[in-house]
Amino acid sequence: MAALLMLSEAEKAFIVHGVQDGVRGDGRGCEDFRVVELETEVVSNTSGSARLRLGQTDVLVGVKAELGSPRLDCPDEGYLEFFVDCTTSSANATPEFEGRGGEDLSLEISSALQRSFAHAGCLDLRSLCILPRQQCWVLYVDVLLLEYGGNVFDAASIAVKAALFNTRIPTVHVSEDEEGVREIELSDDPYDCVRLEVARVPCIVTLSKIGQRHVVDASLEETCCCRASLMVSVTAAGAITGLRKAGPGSLHPDSVCHMIETGKRVGVSLHKALDAVLQHEESQGTKREKVGFLG
Amino acid sequence: MPFDSRRLQGPEDSQSPLLFCAPAAPRALLDGRGKRADGRAPDELRASFARAGLLSQAKGSAYVEAKNTKVLCAVHGPREVLRREDFSMSGRLYCDFRVAPFAGARRCEARPPGGDEREAALAVVQALEAAVRLHRYPKAQIDVFVTVLEDDGGALGAAVTAASLALADAGIEMYDLAVGCSARQAGAVLLLDPSAAEEYGRYGEPARGPSVQAEQHGGLTVALLPSLDQVSGLVCQGEWDEQVLRQAVREAVDGAQRLYPLLQQCLLRAVRRSVRAPEAPPAGPPAGPPGDAGSDAGIPPGESEP
């Protein structure tokens, strides 16, 4: 995806030397994120949604809860499905995503999310089960990339956590008649709903190696100077739930270890900030004015 | 599932009988003497076999076997990219990763490669990009076809190894081989080069039992350029403690280093074979570059039988 922006060698040298001295183009330190704008409940037809703007990157996430049959190998659990769309509707993100251009990126993002969410205690999937082997909740998480400004992986994962926090699944009552036929009844009270426990949901922190140092949340210009990056999924408790090297370059084993360390540190503080924002938004309740795309 | 007219029609849906087995009792990964189920020590690699240059039609090919994991790889190219739109001064690597339908414990559908396979292909490409001198092949594309014949754990690592052997066999310029190695962790146990039964979340493994959930679990695959000491690929999943993960990366890097001499010998043998292949080589430089190693038997084109 480096071809999105072309930089001359001199510009690259400028950025690399800057990072070497701990200075970045927009005045951030090496472990700082750009300003994040986050809003939940932006789309009303979903069970949960969030929109996130990280610098120039804009991501919209919708979570829809639907009834489906459980997977055969885990009959007493619901499941999550990730769909990432960088192709059709996000051709406005950048023209290169038109047609099949964004397919690889969408695949990479969805598999990165899938991988980070694969560990056992991430979400309580058993609470999504209604009738073992018959009915369960399926959470369809749809990520829509609206604008591409670098570091989409982190943006997508933060937005997914916010959307899951915002998700409300209607309560289900199972009744059984005399013949033993079970019926599922959905509560129609909008306040009678189940919330998901997101304390162990991970966020991705991408560390990009530029010159001899690594930076967090690389902008588009910095992405051009970066040969290899490491995506680390971190939970709020500091456990690492996924790791993936990206980019055409290679890394020394020692710097891999350093990057894991930094990733954990940054991830934990990211979660702390995110939780505070989500709690604050929650506490405002209906008084909160929804800005949506008018902001 | 929609009807696929390009294949013989089978039953619409079928399940593996293994799904209906009683779940196996949780079993410790290490026995009392600290050995694994197959008698290996935790940091012992499986007995591996590697051979380069076994296919005659491909420019380069390799076959890697680690006990029951069997991976075949063929390299074609470099060939000209037909699509004019993406001009680039450096070459492109294209990888097609296929898992044979009979490779795993359960049959996987023989259909155009799905998400998992395409993701594995991306991982292989990323692991190889750092090793291949792509700037020597402007406007060209190198095709790498990986087929997993049998998957008994560590297929991605074996695929990276096989692909870099096949590239070397094809005479593609490289900085170094990329050697894949995987590791698996459960609680305090760290296993190198796990088999399918040991690997995380695989069928037959009681990965969802209450006692197992309390521990931290994870799997990790590293691709290493051994003589440069650089990690070119790294994928991991599961739940890790940071310290343990760093330890696991080091162990896997060490495992890949130990695999390296085998691959060097294998390439050396392939070159020797291709040099010896034409009877009584004429004076001068013996045979062609190792790039011709693909033709194992027979005479290079242009030379006639005496």
Task: Give me the residues of A, 158-177, that contact B with CB < 8 A.
Answer: none
Q: Which two tokens stand for residue B163?
A: 């692909």
Residue A79 lies in a domain: yes
Q: Contacts of residue A256 in chain B, CB cutoff 8 Å?
A: 231, 234, 249
Minimum mean pLDDT among B199-208, B210-219, B293-302: which range? B293-302
**Beta-strand pair A135-147/A79-85:** parallel
Tell me: pLDDT of B47 over 50: yes
Decide if A239 touches B, using CB distance below 8 A.
Answer: yes
Give the per-residue pLDDT at B127: 92
Residue A30 lies in a domain: no
Give the per-residue pLDDT at A96: 65
Residue A6 lies in a domain: no
Q: Which two tokens stand for residue A146?
A: 């609206």
Mean pLDDT across A210-231: 90
Tell me: pLDDT of B207 over 50: no
> What CATH number is attached to the domain comprising A278?
3.30.230.70
Mean pLDDT across A153-162: 93
Give the per-residue pLDDT at A205: 94
| Spatial CB neighbours of B114, under 8 Å, sequence gap ≥ 6 | none
Mean pLDDT across B12-20: 79
Q: Do B250 and A257 touch (CB under 8 A)?
A: yes
Give the per-residue pLDDT at B212: 45
Q: Do A250 and B122 touch (CB under 8 A)?
A: no
Give the one of B86, B231, B246 whose C-beta lies nearest to A251's C-beta: B231
**Among B95, B161, B99, CA closest to B123:** B95
Minimum mean pLDDT among A13-27, B71-85, B140-154, B260-274: which range? B71-85
Q: What percent of chain A has pLDDT over 90?
A: 33
Q: Contacts of residue B229 in chain A, CB cutoff 8 Å?
A: 252-253
How many Cβ atoms from other residues are within 10 Å of residue B302's Cβ? 6
Q: Which two tokens stand for residue B77?
A: 């190219």
Name the residue with higher pLDDT: A244 or A95. Answer: A244
ipTM of the complex as predicted: 0.86
Strands (E), B81-202: 92-99, 140-150, 179-186, 189-192
Q: Contacts of residue B239 in chain A, CB cutoff 8 Å?
A: 119-121, 235, 239-241
Q: How confident is residue B52, by pLDDT bands cut at 50, 70 and 90? A: very high
Name the residue with higher pLDDT: A40 or B26. Answer: A40
Residue given tokens 């795309």 in the structure block: A293
Mean pLDDT across A209-216: 91
Minimum mean pLDDT among A174-178, A275-279, B246-250: which range? A174-178
Q: Contacts of residue A72 in chain B, CB cutoff 8 Å?
A: 15, 19
Length in residues, chain B: 306
Most confident of A102-106, B193-197, B241-245, B262-266: B262-266
Minimum mean pLDDT among A85-94, A267-276, B132-141, B245-254: which range? A85-94
Name the residue with higher pLDDT: B156 or A295. Answer: B156
Decide if A120 touches B, using CB distance below 8 A.
Answer: yes
User: First and final CA of chain B: distance in angstroms?
Assistant: 60
d(CA B199, CA B217): 10
Domain count, chain A: 1
Residue A291 lies in a domain: no
* Nearest chain B Cα distance for residue A185, angstroms: 29
Residue A200 in contact with residue A148, Cβ under 8 Å? no
A contact test, residue of B86, B245, B249, B250 with most A CBs within 10 A = B245
Give the per-residue pLDDT at B202: 44
Tell me: pLDDT of B282 over 90: no
Residue A112 lies in a domain: yes
* Nearest chain B Cα distance for residue A154, angstroms: 17
Residue A7 lies in a domain: no
Size of interface A-B (CB pairs under 8 A): 112
Q: Do B239 and A240 touch (CB under 8 A)?
A: yes
**Among A19, A22, A62, A57, CA closest to A36:** A57
Q: Contacts of residue A228 in chain B, CB cutoff 8 Å?
A: 130
* Nearest chain B Cα distance for residue A254, angstroms: 9
Give the per-residue pLDDT at B158: 94
Give the per-residue pLDDT at A159: 94
What per-residue string of b and e applies to A64-94 under the rule 16 or more CB within 10 Å gives b?
Answer: bbeeeebeeeeeebbbbebebbbbeebeebb
Q: Name the burial class of residue A145, with classes exposed (0-12), middle (13-18) and buried (19+) by CB atoms within 10 angstroms of its CB.
A: buried
Bridge partners, residue B255, by sequence: none
Give the per-residue pLDDT at B26: 63
Give the per-residue pLDDT at B203: 38
Residue A17 lies in a domain: no
Q: Do A250 and B232 touch (CB under 8 A)?
A: yes
Tell me: pLDDT of B194 over 70: yes
Decide if A108 touches B, using CB distance below 8 A.
Answer: yes
Decide if A193 touches B, using CB distance below 8 A.
Answer: no
Give the per-residue pLDDT at B35: 82
**What mean pLDDT, rounded, does chain B reach?**
80
Mean pLDDT across B122-150: 91
Residue A63 in contact with residue A140, Cβ under 8 Å? yes
d(CA B178, CA B223): 6
Tell me: pLDDT of B108 over 90: no
B contact test, residue of A231, A250, A256 with most B CBs within 10 A = A250
d(CA A167, CA A161): 10
A44-93 pLDDT tens trace: 899 999 999 988 888 999 999 998 888 887 888 888 889 988 765 555 55
Mean pLDDT across A226-253: 90
Determine phi and psi for A7, rounding to 5 degrees. -120, 145
**What mean pLDDT, rounded, does chain A reach?**
86
* Nearest chain B Cα distance for residue A195, angstroms: 23
How many Cβ atoms from other residues are within 10 Å of residue A25's Cβ? 13
Q: Which domain holds residue A279?
A: 35-284
d(CA B267, CA B146): 18
Q: Do B15 and A119 touch (CB under 8 A)?
A: no
Residue B247: its H or E element: helix B242-276
Q: How far is CA B249 from CA A127, A268, B125, B234, in A?
A: 35, 21, 20, 9
Mean pLDDT across B131-160: 91
Q: Contacts of residue B233 in chain A, CB cutoff 8 Å?
A: 245
Give the per-residue pLDDT at B144: 94
A98-150 pLDDT tens trace: 666 677 788 888 888 888 887 777 888 888 888 888 888 999 999 998 888 88
Residue A16 lies in a domain: no
